[in-house]
C-alpha cells in the first residue's frame, strides 16, 4: 500500500512538473526525433515535429520549444520536392525562429546557425537560380555565429554539409568537406548533450558524413 501511494505520489508529481515546464516533454520529443534512423519514414519525423509544435504553443513565451520546432521543420523541409511547399515549410520555420529570438531577446550563435541552415535549405530547393542570394545569407549567418562562439560544432558541420553537396567542379565534394566535419567532430566531443536549453543537435549526422568522407579518402588513397 505504501508503495502504491508512493507510486501515486510520484505519478502526480510527474504530471505537475510536466504541466509547469517544457523541458521534460521537449527533451523527450527531440531525443526521439534525433534517435530516428536515417531511413525512418518522413511520417514518423513529422509526428514528432508536430508534437514539438504543440509544446511550443503551450509554452509560447519560452524560446527553446520554438527553436526546436524551427530546427525540425528545417530538417524536414529537405525532404520536400515541391518548391512552393518547401518554401511554405521554411516560412513556418522562420516564424518559429523569430519567436525563439524574441524569447531570448537577442540572437545567439545557435540562432545564427539555424538561420544559416534555413538559407541552405532555401537554396537546396532550386540551387541553380538561388545560390547567389542564399549562399550569401548562409555564409553571413555562419560568420555571425563564429563571432559569438568559434567553437560551435554545428557551424562547421553545416559548412561541411554544404561543401559535401557542392559539385567538385565548384570547389565542393567529399575531400574538401572532410576538414569541416573533422573540426566539428572535435567540438561535438566536448558537448555533454544533456540539457535541452543548450542545443546539441547535429552530432549523429556529423559522425555519418565524417565517416563517408573518410571512406572516400581511403578509396582514393588505395587507387
Partner 1 sequence: MRKRLLFLFFAPLLTASFSASADFRISGKVIDLKDKPVKGASVYLDNTIDGGTTDSLGQFSFTTEEKGSQTIVCTESAHETTGLPIMIAGDISDLVLHMKDNLHNLEAVTITAGSFASNDRTKTVLNPIDVVTTAGSNGDVVKAMQMLPGTQQTGTDNGLLIRGGDVSEAAIIVDETIVQSAFVSGPPGLATRSRFSPFQFKGVSFSSGGYSAKYSQALSGVLDLNTNDMPDKSNVNLGVNLSGVYASGTKRWKKSSFDAGGNYFNLSPLLAVSSVSNGYKFYTVPMGGGANARYVWTPNKDGILKATFSTTYNKSGINIPNPTLGITDTTNTFNTTDAQVKYITEDKYYFGTISYRQSFKNKYLLYTAASFSYDDLNNVFDRLNLTQKEYRNQFRIEVKRTFTNKLSLLLGTDLQNYGVKKDFRFTQQFDETQEAAYAEMEWNPIYWLALKPGIRYEHSNLLNQDKVAPRFSTAIKTGNHSQASLAGGIFYQNANNIYYLSGFKPGMQSAIHYIANWQWSKNDRTLRLEGYYKNYQDLAREYGMGYSANRFRTNVIANYVDNTGYGYAQGLELFWRDKKSWKNTDYWISYSYIDTKRMYENFTASATPTFVAAHNLSVVGKHFIDKWHTNISATYSFASGYPYFDPAKATAAGFLSDRTPAFHNTAITAAYLHSFGKWFTVFYVSVDNVLNTKNVFGYRYYNNEKIAVTPGFYRTVFFGVNASLSQFSKDEL
Residues of this chain that bind partner 1 (CB under 8 A)? 1, 4, 8, 25, 42-43, 46-47, 50-51, 53-55, 57-58, 73, 82-85, 87-89, 91-92, 126, 128-130, 132-136, 139-140, 142-143, 146, 155-156, 159, 167-171, 179-180, 183
Least separation in angstroms between CB 205 and partner 1: 18
C-beta of 169 vs 189, nearer to partner 1? 169
C-beta of 99 vs 192, nearer to partner 1? 99
C-alpha closest to that of 176 among 128, 142, 209: 209
Least separation in angstroms between CB 146 and partner 1: 6
Q: CA 154, CA 131: separation in Å to the nearest integer?
A: 21
Joined grid coordinates for residue 184? 566539428
Q: What is the DSSP letter of 51?
A: H
C-beta of 92 vs 212, nearer to partner 1? 92
* Other CB atoms within 10 Å distance of the CB of residue 183: 19
Joined grid coordinates for residue 170? 565548384
Least separation in angstroms between CB 144 and partner 1: 9
Least separation in angstroms between CB 183 and partner 1: 6
Least separation in angstroms between CB 195 and partner 1: 21
C-beta of 55 vs 114, nearer to partner 1? 55
C-beta of 134 vs 201, nearer to partner 1? 134
Q: How far, CA to CA in Å, does 165 sit from each of 72, 111, 124, 170, 209?
A: 20, 23, 10, 10, 11
Angle at 19 between CA 43 and CA 27, to 5 degrees: 45
Joined grid coordinates for residue 35? 534517435
Amino acid at each position: 500500500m505504501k508503495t502504491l501511494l508512493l507510486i501515486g505520489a510520484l505519478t502526480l508529481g510527474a504530471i505537475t512538473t510536466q504541466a509547469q515546464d517544457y523541458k521534460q516533454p521537449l527533451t523527450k520529443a527531440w531525443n526521439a526525433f534525433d534517435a530516428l534512423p536515417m531511413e525512418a519514414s518522413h511520417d514518423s519525423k513529422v509526428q514528432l515535429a508536430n508534437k514539438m509544435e504543440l509544446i511550443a504553443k503551450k509554452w509560447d513565451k519560452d524560446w527553446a520549444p520554438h527553436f526546436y520546432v524551427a530546427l525540425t521543420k528545417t530538417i524536414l523541409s529537405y525532404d520536400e520536392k515541391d518548391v512552393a511547399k518547401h518554401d511554405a515549410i521554411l516560412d513556418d520555420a522562420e516564424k518559429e525562429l523569430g519567436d525563439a529570438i524574441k524569447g531570448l531577446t537577442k540572437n545567439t550563435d545557435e540562432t545564427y546557425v539555424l538561420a544559416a541552415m534555413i538559407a541552405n535549405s532555401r537554396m537546396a530547393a532550386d540551387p541553380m537560380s538561388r545560390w547567389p542570394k542564399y549562399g550569401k545569407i548562409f555564409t553571413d549567418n555562419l560568420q555571425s555565429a563564429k563571432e559569438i562562439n568559434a567553437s560551435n560544432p554545428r557551424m562547421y558541420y553545416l559548412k561541411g554539409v554544404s561543401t559535401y553537396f557542392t559539385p567538385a567542379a565548384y570547389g565542393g565534394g567529399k575531400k574538401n568537406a572532410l576538414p569541416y566535419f573533422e573540426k566539428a567532430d572535435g567540438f561535438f566531443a566536448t558537448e555533454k548533450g544533456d540539457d535541452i536549453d543548450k542545443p546539441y543537435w547535429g552530432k549523429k549526422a556529423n559522425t555519418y558524413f565524417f565517416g563517408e568522407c573518410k571512406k572516400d579518402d581511403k578509396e582514393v588513397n588505395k587507387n
